[in-house]
Structure 1
Amino acid sequence: MNSPIHSTRLTLTKLALDDWELIRSIYSDPELMKHIGAPMQEEEIRTNFEKELAPWSLASTHWLTWIIRETASGNAAGLISICTRNREKLTAEIGFILLEAYKGKGYATEAIKLVIDFATEAFGFETFTAICSEEHAASRRVLEKAGMHLDKIVPDNTQINGKMVSDCFYSLER
């Protein structure tokens, strides 16, 4: 599980202590968080970061996180994570965030496909889910390009920065 996951363009590396500054910068950035939630304070980011550094198994309640890196340059492009949501019908939720400079290159779609293939083979996940706000058209396109299907839209389901937003629930069966 600690071995990198590779494609020609991307290398996914498991979250490590050296990734603290990247994680802090992502979760405190209002622009990157605008469709996810309020930017986090450093203490909350640190608490979540330390949880995600812990060993991971299907029984874990924390996210298994990889840093998305360009294979050629080694530069960090963002992150992608999975979390077990149902242990009986092995279901994982997928979440991802890309840095602004790396959006629009197909990296998120490619990373999702890599993680789905890896998690199916390594852990036996049968179903993958993802949630994004209805207004976040780019994330919706990414999920659909990765093969996920829109199951439902729940109006006014989540509060982000004081505003109620509708959530789109996606899934993919393997």
Structure 2
Amino acid sequence: MDKQIVSEPLTLTKLALHDWEIIRSIYTDPTLMKHIGAVKSEEEIRRNFEKELAEWSLDSTHWLTWIIRETSSGNAIGLISICTRDLGKRTAEVGFIILEAYKGKGYATEALQLIFEFAVDTYGFRKFTAVCSEEHAGSRRVLEKAGMTLDEIVPESTEIDGRLVNDCFYSMDAANRMTKPSDSIH
């Protein structure tokens, strides 16, 4: 799976060895991890990074991760991932992290729409899910702008920095996703 997913503003590339520094910087940044979980140790980040470098298929248990870059500058601006959650129902969970300097530019919504299109066309996914903390208003807005619907809020579901936070569970049927013209998948 060496494909790039390209649109005018974004280029998504499958995670590769040379992406270690951007991954390490994301998962050790307290600001980025504030609504996701504890800042991770370098050893834990390395273990997850190595798992995500492995070949991916529908029955994989690890995430399929892309680095999101601005097409015009080539700057890495974050990551986006999918993971099969129910193979029989062709359901995938999506997740994303955008660097602070690039938030508010529509990049996360664009990346989600590109991944939805890719995952439906390439793997036949029929449903997408996502989870974020209730207090992370930015992620909630992105998921809703990308066409996902809030299904449930589970109180005190996840521990982040020693406190329990409410989790918002979102979903979207692939047939109901927002469609936009595909630029290209190489």
TM-score, normalised with respect to structure 1? 0.99
Deviation at 1:19, TM superposition (A): 0.2
- Provide the residue aligned with 1:17 in structure 2: 17
- Provide the residue aligned with 1:150 in structure 2: 150
- Aligned counterparts, 1:12-161, within 5 A: 12-161=12-161
SS state at 1:159 partner: strand
Structure 2 distance, partners of 1:143, 1:53, is 26
Relative contact order, CA 8 A, sep 6+: which one is greater?
2
For structure 2, the residue ranges without an aligned partner over 5 or more in a row are 175-186
Letter in 1 for 2:78: G
Deviation at 1:45, TM superposition (A): 0.2
SS state at 1:66 partner: strand
Deviation at 1:2, TM superposition (A): 1.1
Deviation at 1:51, TM superposition (A): 0.1
Using the aligned pairs only, state the percent identity.
72
Deviation at 1:139, TM superposition (A): 0.2
Deviation at 1:68, TM superposition (A): 0.3
Q: Tell me the alpha carbon deviations over residues 17-44 of structure 1, each in whole angstroms, 9 at most, x when there is no partner.
A: 0000000000011110010000000000
TM-score, normalised with respect to structure 2? 0.93
Q: Does residue 165 of the first structure (1) align with residue 165 of the second (2)?
A: yes
Structure 2 distance, partners of 1:47, 1:168, is 27
For structure 1, the residue ranges without an aligned partner over 5 or more in a row are none
Deviation at 1:131, TM superposition (A): 0.2
Give structure 1 regions of 4+ aligned residues with deviation exceeding 3 angstroms: none
SS state at 2:13 partner: strand
Deviation at 1:3, TM superposition (A): 1.4
Letter in 1 for 2:135: E
Structure 1 distance, partners of 2:111, 2:163, is 30
